[in-house]
C-alpha cells in the first residue's frame, strides 16, 4: 500500500519542495507532448505554475500573462476562437472584479498592466 502511495503523482506531498519540483516537471513534460493543443498546454502551464509557486489559479494566470509572448497568444485565441471566448466569459463571470480580462464590445482586453 505504501509503495502505491509513493508511485502515485496525485499523492505527492506538496509541502516538500522536491515533490513540487517533480510535479512541475511532469506538467512541463506533458505540455511538450501536447504539441499544438493550445488550450491543453495552457491548462498544464497553469497547473505547473500553481505547483511551482504555490498560488491560486488566478495568480498562476497572472504570472503566465506577465510573459508578453503568452499574453499576445492568449489575446489572439480569445478574440478568434469560439471555445476560448467561452472560457474568457466564464473567467469574467467567475472572478468578477478580480478578472484579468474584460469584454470591450466584441473583443476582450487585459485588465492587468
- Specify the pTM: 0.76
Band (pLDDT 50/70/90 cuts) for residue 4 is: very low
Residue 36 has pLDDT above 50, yes or no: yes
Please state, in angstroms and as integers, the Cα–Cα distance from residue 48 to each residue in 21, 53, 54, 102, 104, following that order. 9, 8, 10, 25, 30
Using CA of residue 62, residue 63, residue 69, residue 74, what is the dihedral sign?
Answer: negative
How many whole angstroms separate alpha carbon 87 and alpha carbon 63?
Answer: 18
Residue 15 has pLDDT above 50, yes or no: yes
CB 88 within 8 A of CB 99: no
- Averaged over 39-58, what is the pLDDT? 92
- Averaged over 60-65, what is the pLDDT? 95
Q: What is the pLDDT of residue 40?
A: 85
Mean pLDDT over the full length of the chain: 85
Q: What is the pLDDT of residue 1?
A: 44
Amino acid at each position: 500500500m505504501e509503495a502505491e502511495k509513493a508511485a502515485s503523482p496525485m499523492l505527492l506531498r506538496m509541502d516538500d519542495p522536491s515533490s513540487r519540483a517533480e510535479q512541475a516537471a511532469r506538467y512541463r513534460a506533458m505540455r511538450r507532448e501536447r504539441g499544438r493543443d493550445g488550450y491543453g498546454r495552457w491548462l498544464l502551464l497553469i497547473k505547473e505554475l500553481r505547483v511551482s509557486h504555490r498560488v491560486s489559479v488566478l495568480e498562476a494566470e497572472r504570472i503566465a500573462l506577465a510573459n508578453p509572448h503568452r499574453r499576445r497568444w492568449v489575446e489572439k485565441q480569445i478574440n478568434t476562437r469560439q471555445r476560448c471566448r467561452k472560457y474568457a466569459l466564464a473567467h469574467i463571470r467567475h472572478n468578477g472584479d478580480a478578472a484579468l480580462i474584460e469584454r470591450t464590445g466584441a473583443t476582450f482586453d487585459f485588465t492587468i498592466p
